[in-house]
Amino acid sequence: MATIEVNGAQLAYDEAGNGSPVVLVHAGIADRRMWRGQLTALATRHRVIVPDLRGYGDSELPPAPFAHHDDVIGLLDALGVERAALVGCSFGGRVAVDTALAYPERISALALFGAPVSGNEWSEETEQLWEELVGDVDPADFAATAAGEVRFWVVGPTRKPEDVDPELIRFAEEMDRRALAAEQALSAVEVGELDPPAIDRLSELRMPVLVGAGADDLADIRRLADRIAAEAPHGVRLPDVPDTAHLLPLEKPEPVNAALLDFLP
């Protein structure tokens, strides 16, 4: 692990390899460790940079206003990177899309896995699924909340916990407990949003865009993957990966790595 100052905050990151730069942006229920299956594999051809977003993992959270998409570009500036590909999962995909729209000249390609988009609204179907699978959880109880979120996202609506590797569940819950503490701290800081948001601007994504999802992820996520790939001028939709939910790169690194090595410039 290394740290570097970005827009007044010390951000933690891992780095490996040489070649064209690629930045991996983690999910909101995780931290940079979720990319453990990608770092070495991609480093055979690329300079791979894996940060903790501000407030998450080992990165700082000063009380000043900021925006995650500005931090991504600030990280590139601090590391002397002119242009990079962005790979994002879940919330990290949302950050990656916002970054690509705010700074299109800095992003060479975009790969998204299970990505929501700023300005998108969840369907009533998803809201009902949350009630059925998780229900009311005390937000102050990080352990219970993490267990509920992992049930919803990592196990997914079409699988049962016993169908999923228990080590994956354990690791995801451990990351999510830390992420929940990060989100609590972030709620006290002014976090800037892309304006206008990305949902009606997908046609502005002029760089190559690769979009994937797990077959057991939410229907909303899979439909959104279809929309991103259809509206981005150079969008490509990967087939859904079987027996996988929201943290696709962590759960099934092999097909993700193969797709990325084929796609990344």
Which of 66, 123, 111 minimizes the C-alpha distance to 258? 111
Looking at residues 160-170, what average pLDDT do you find? 96
Q: What average pLDDT score do residues 47-56 get?
A: 98
Q: Are 98 and 68 in contact (CB under 8 A)?
A: yes
pLDDT average, residue stretch 243-263: 98
Q: What is the pLDDT of residue 125?
A: 93
Contact call for residues 52 and 65 (beta carbons, < 8 A): no
Please give the Cα distance from 202 to 236 (Å, whole number): 13
Give the per-residue pLDDT at 141.
87
Per-residue pLDDT at 7 = 97
Q: Residue 136's pLDDT is what?
A: 80
Model confidence at 74: pLDDT above 90 = yes
Residue 185 has pLDDT above 90, yes or no: yes
Instruction: For the full predicted model, state whether its pTM sits above 0.85.
Output: yes
Mean pLDDT of the chain: 96
Asked if pLDDT for residue 66 goes beyond 90, the answer is: yes
Instruction: State mean pLDDT over 16-45.
Output: 98
- Which tokens sit at 206? 């002029």
Is residue 130 predicted with pLDDT exceeding 90?
A: no
In this predicted structure, the answer to whether residue 235 has a pLDDT above a threshold of 90 is yes
Q: Is 134 exposed, middle or buried (0-12, 13-18, 19+ CB in 10 A)?
A: middle
